[in-house]
Amino acid sequence: MSIDHSPTLKTIREYRERNGLGPRDDINLVPTSQGWPIFTGTRYHEMAYKMVPGAEIDRIIVKSQTSLDTDVSDDEASAPEMIMFSFAIPLNANEAAIDQHAAEPAAEDNLNSGLLTAKKAMRTYVTKIQETASA
């Protein structure tokens, strides 16, 4: 999800500063991370939770769009930050959530695939804007 909520953007900036991260460094959190409660209080966590009823959010990743190697400068980016969530989904009411270690490689592959798709979409968008501007 692209982040366009000013208080959440401020939370991200402050988190990076407090944790010695650069302004474009990724934030990776799991439920045992010290910063987990900070990001579970955002509107984006609530939206993600509602998207997959019954699933537990087991990872939060915040990425700067420029960390996706887009061709868009800071001034041109309409939403400079993205937040992504990973879910552990119970197999059924009597079983625990899928083992995190077993699911991690698949989740990483899914995340990388999604990031590649977002990168391609952003490049297409920028190309179309450039074509329109030069016409």
Give the pLDDT score at 114: 72
pLDDT, average across residues 120-132? 85
Q: What is the pTM of this model?
A: 0.60
Between 95 and 3, whose confidence is greater? 3
Nearest-angstrom CA–CA distance, 64 and 25? 7
pLDDT at 59 over 50: yes
User: What distances in angstroms separate CA 81 from CA 9, 23, 56, 88, one per listed residue?
Assistant: 8, 11, 23, 24
Nearest-angstrom CA–CA distance, 22 and 107? 25
Nearest-angstrom CA–CA distance, 116 and 121? 9
pLDDT, average across residues 15-22? 95
Between 51 and 68, whose confidence is greater? 51
Share of the chain above pLDDT 70, in %: 72
Nearest alpha-carbon partner for 104 in 112, 96, 95: 112
CB 83 within 8 A of CB 1: yes
Nearest alpha-carbon partner for 82 in 107, 36, 32, 118: 118
Q: What is the mean pLDDT of the chain?
A: 79
Which stretches does DSSP call E strand in the chain?
2-3, 27-29, 56-64, 81-88
CB 30 within 8 A of CB 59: yes
Give the pLDDT score at 26: 93
Total number of domains constituting the chain? 1
pLDDT tens by residue, 89-123: 666 655 555 555 555 566 666 667 777 777 788 88
Range of the structural domain that residue 62 is part of: 2-134
Between 100 and 36, whose confidence is greater? 36
